[in-house]
């Protein structure tokens, strides 16, 4: 008797794009700016867990997760119910005009969650870029200084100051200057660029920063150092704990506010609620967004109470910030993460690491398999060099999409395949998607 085979989740029954998607995309091109280019030409109809269906009847396994916004999965039932319940009560008042309790409850829970000693307070906004901008405002007011230090490969958003802090010129910065003043950029340690020697990369980065105080900006004029504990758009580059500890030491020595941007790495992406927890280094402020509310617009700045309280009345805020519907979603997301999703993420990270290490070992065009927990990436280069191979990364993504897997790129050279899959993906869906990924690499050698 023939053994039954496991039903596949991914199912592509049309060309990509299918005819219905193609028709909508034609309308989109006529109705929206060309700058809103589409990563993949598929039009979503519905999504659940780690699966996404388009309007042509194709089903994809989604490793993009709304660019890291869906750690608890698409249409998570608990979060969905919380959203509906809140919508039925009220949708908006502006918290500083007529407050609501769930904002306070979220602040209490988030304050207790961060690895920051002493009294902690938090405030909420709409986007990651808004969290960045407001964290810098807090740091400037607290210190009375104007300078900001950021890093090569960083991504902090696309508003004026956030764009000034972002490192990738195309497509994020070219043609949009002049940028915000008093922004200074330091090297970020990337072991691959130092012959695989993480210690040497760390020493170079910290030495370069200390030298900046002699050659670029006086330490006593620097308000903040802002850093991603694991770089996101930069290619999921993981520094040694010694690097972040060195930043803490420098910040303490000169009275500088240390900001950890966890917009992409937080809310369970690394298998812990905060990537910071992997490094044992305490920042002054932590930023969150993306997966905090399952894709609803919400972000936050969480940090030392003395710094948060330094800002004068109405120095931070906004009409829509901390919207009650998004806050309700965030509380449900925390329930999901604490109720087993974090543990699932740890196991997923182990599975992805084993598979990615194996794929990298067999492919001379993959320079490195890296990451923390399920926040993982493969860096593609031209064999025998460290030259970025962005063209192959694009080819891998297109080949995978034809077989039902949605992938994203990252890296300054657009040459890294990164994973932002919902942590709720099933074992069967994971194995199926890994097989699609292996086949995409084989087909693009």
* pLDDT tens-digit readout, 363-406: 999 999 999 999 999 999 999 999 999 999 999 999 999 999 99
Segment 280-298, tens digit of pLDDT: 999 999 999 999 999 999 9
Q: Is the per-residue pLDDT at 199 higher than 60?
A: yes
Using the 3D structure, point to which of 307, 336, 365 is the last residue of a domain. 336
Using the 3D structure, point to which of 336, 351, 377 is the last residue of a domain. 336
* pLDDT, mean of residues 202-215: 97
Residue 267 structural domain: 77-336
Residue 316 sits in the same domain as residue 348 = no
Domain count, the chain: 2
Residue 107 sits in the same domain as residue 185 = yes
Residue 161 sits in the same domain as residue 275 = yes
Spatial separation of the C-alpha atoms in residues 405 and 412, rounded to whole Å: 23
Q: What CATH number should be reported for the domain holding residue 352?
A: 3.90.1150.10
Shortest CA distance to 291 belongs to which of 283, 282, 299?
299
pLDDT value for 152 = 97
Decide if 238 is inside a domain. yes
Q: Are strands 375-380 and 366-372 parallel, antiparallel or unpaired?
A: antiparallel
Q: What CATH number should be reported for the domain holding residue 99?
A: 3.40.640.10
Decide if 32 is inside a domain. yes
- Residue 444 half-sphere exposure toward CB, CA atoms < 13 A: 23
Decide if 233 is inside a domain. yes
Residue 101 sits in the same domain as residue 210 = yes
Decide if 9 is inside a domain. no
Spatial separation of the C-alpha atoms in residues 5 and 272, rounded to whole Å: 35
Decide if 198 is inside a domain. yes
Shortest CA distance to 152 belongs to which of 165, 171, 139, 162?
165
Using the 3D structure, point to which of 319, 336, 353 is the last residue of a domain. 336
Residue 95 sits in the same domain as residue 176 = yes
Residue 351 sits in the same domain as residue 321 = no
Q: What is the mean pLDDT of the chain?
A: 96
């Amino acid at each position: 008797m023939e053994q039954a085979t496991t039903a596949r989740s991914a199912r592509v029954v049309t060309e990509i794009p299918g005819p219905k998607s193609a028709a909508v995309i034609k309308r989109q091109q006529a109705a929206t700016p060309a700058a809103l280019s589409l990563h993949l030409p598929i039009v979503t109809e519905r999504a659940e867990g780690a699966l996404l269906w388009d309007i042509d009847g194709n089903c994809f396994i989604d490793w993009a997760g709304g660019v890291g916004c869906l750690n608890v999965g698409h249409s998570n039932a608990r979060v969905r119910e919380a959203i509906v319940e809140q919508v039925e009560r009220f949708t908006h008042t502006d918290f500083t005009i007529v407050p609501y309790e769930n904002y306070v409850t979220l602040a209490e829970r988030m304050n207790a969650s961060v690895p920051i000693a002493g009294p902690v307070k938090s405030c909420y906004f709409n986007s990651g870029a808004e969290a960045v901008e407001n964290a810098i405002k807090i740091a400037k007011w607290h210190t009375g200084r104007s300078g900001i230090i950021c890093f090569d490969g960083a991504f902090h958003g696309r508003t004026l100051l956030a764009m000034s802090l972002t490192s990738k010129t195309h497509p994020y910065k070219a043609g949009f200057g002049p940028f915000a003043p008093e922004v200074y950029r330091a090297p970020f340690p990337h072991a691959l660029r130092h012959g695989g020697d993480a210690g040497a990369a760390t020493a170079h980065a910290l030495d370069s920063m200390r030298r900046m105080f002699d050659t670029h900006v006086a330490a006593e004029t620097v308000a903040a150092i802002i850093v991603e504990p694991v770089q996101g758009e930069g290619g999921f580059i993981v520094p040694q704990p010694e690097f972040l500890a060195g930043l803490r030491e420098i910040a303490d020595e000169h009275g500088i506010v240390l900001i950890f941007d966890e917009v992409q790495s937080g809310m369970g992406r690394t298998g812990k609620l905060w990537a910071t927890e992997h490094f044992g280094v305490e920042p002054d402020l932590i930023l969150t967004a993306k997966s905090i509310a399952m894709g609803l617009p919400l972000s936050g700045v969480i940090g030392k109470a003395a710094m948060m309280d330094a800002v004068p009345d109405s120095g931070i805020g906004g009409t829509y910030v901390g919207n009650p519907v998004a806050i309700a979603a965030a509380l449900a997301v925390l329930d999901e993460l604490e109720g087993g999703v974090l543990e699932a993420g740890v196991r997923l990270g182990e599975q992805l690491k084993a598979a990615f290490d194996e794929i990298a070992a067999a492919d001379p065009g993959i320079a490195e398999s890296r990451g923390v927990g399920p926040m993982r990436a493969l860096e593609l280069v031209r064999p025998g060099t460290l030259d970025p191979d962005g063209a192959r990364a694009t080819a891998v993504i297109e080949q995978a999409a034809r077989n039902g897997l949605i992938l994203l790129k990252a890296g300054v050279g657009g040459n890294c395949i990164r994973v932002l899959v919902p942590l709720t993906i099933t074992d069967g869906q994971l194995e199926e998607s890994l097989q699609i990924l292996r086949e995409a690499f084989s087909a693009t050698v």
